[in-house]
Amino acid sequence: MVFLKVAPMKGVLRFKKKGKLSPHFVGRFEILERIGPVAYRLVLPPAFSAVHDVFHVSMLRKYVSDLTHVVDLEPLQINENLSYEKQPVEILAREVNMLRNRGIALVKVL
């Protein structure tokens, strides 16, 4: 079992976090076979049908059995570039900060 590295992309929302806080590795995928000295074929879920299933060893990290590391992939509708759009559930709080002559709206969203 291995984690798959997701290349960081500036401004793209991936797996609930944006930018520096986005996870660098996703899933818990099973290795199907070894292809050559540095390539592996993984068993990917149907949501990743547009992604090629052979990865270089530098894109993989060994899975250590800990359930807190796993990002749940089932409820997400993942695009071909491994990103998704997040919809707000409800607005929890609103506030307007005044900065010299302009007001900046701050909104806390669930």
pLDDT in tens, 28-65: 889 999 999 999 999 988 877 777 889 899 889 888 77
pLDDT (tens digit per residue) in 5-19: 876 555 454 555 566
Q: In this prediction, what percent of the chain has a pLDDT beyond 90?
A: 21
In terms of Cα–Cα distance, which of 40, 77, 47, 82 is closest to 62? Answer: 40
Q: Domain spans of the chain?
A: 2-85
Distances (CA, A) of 46 to 13, 25, 36: 21, 18, 25
Predicted TM-score (pTM) of this structure: 0.51
Predicted local distance difference test score (pLDDT) of residue 72: 60
Q: Strand (E) positions, the chain?
A: 2-5, 13-14, 17-18, 25-35, 39-43, 54-56, 60-62, 91-99, 102-109
